[in-house]
Structure formats: structure tokens, C-alpha cells
Amino acid sequence: MKFLFDNNLSPHLASALHALSAPEGHCVVHLRNKFPANTPDHEWIEALASEGGWAIITQDRIGKNDLERKALRQTGIVTFMLKSAWSNHGFWSKAHNLVKWWPRIIDHAGGVTNGVFLVGWRMSGKGKFETVNV
């Protein structure tokens, strides 16, 4: 599986998770390593969907405008949005929590063909995601 980290997340987190995930055959890249930083969300969403095998990780509220919502609906690309509580934490806390969630995100991304899912700050039990309608 290939994961793209949106601009609102650190490229260093993407690099670290790539290093941790590569032995299992997963690839994690930051948006700026694949597209110009100012590429509109709907354009890179459509480009990833046409390549296939991608999932998006974002702290943004993707789908906040009609073009983004339309792109997510039409492409069906699997997207994980970090809930707003993630914004209240610094880099190291965020990194720690994302590493904790990462195996669950990989499993879920591999088990669905589409959808937008919220990732809570607290992980309890097996780590469940909320489905978002876009």
C-alpha cells in the first residue's frame, strides 16, 4: 500500500513511517515529494486515484469545498483524517500517537476499497475509525 501525507503533516513523519513500513512493503511519501506544494487538493487526489493503490493521511478537513468532496466521492480514494484534537499536540506527541495508530491504519486501508475515516487522538481497544460522508 502507498500512503501520501498531506502538506499539513510533517515530511519528517512521512519519512519516519516510510522507514518503519518499508520492510512490510508499504511506501509513505509526503505530498511535496510527489507534487508541487501548491497543487490543489482535488488535482492530486484525482492523480493518486488514477495511479491506484494510494491512501491519504491528512490533518486537514479535506472535502471542505465542492471540488474536493466531488474528487473524494468520484475517486473513492481511502482517506484518513486526523481529528481536530491532533492539532492540540506538538510534534513528538503527534509522532508517538501516529506510530501507535499506524498498524491499524495499514490494516484498515488494506481492507477497504474506498471511504473517508476519522482517526481519533485516543486509541482504545483495537482502534476504531469513524466513517465520514463526503
The CA distance from 10 to 49, in Å, is: 22
The predicted model gives 9-34 an average pLDDT of: 97
Cell triple for residue 133? Answer: 460522508
Q: What is the pLDDT of residues 25-49, one digit of tens each?
A: 999 999 999 999 899 988 999 999 9
Q: Do residues 107 and 21 lie in contact, with contact meaning Cβ atoms separated by under 8 Å? A: no
Report the top-level CATH class of 2-132: alpha beta
Tell me the pLDDT tens digit for each residue of 58-113.
998 765 678 888 888 888 899 999 999 999 999 999 999 999 999 999 999 999 99
Question: Residue ranges per domain, the chain?
Answer: 2-132
pTM of the shown model: 0.93
- Residues 6 or more apart whose CB falls under 8 angstroms from that of 102 comprise 17, 20, 21
CA 112 to CA 98: how far, in whole Å?
Answer: 20
| 3 state SS of 78 | strand
Q: How far apart are CA 42 and CA 39, in angstroms?
A: 8
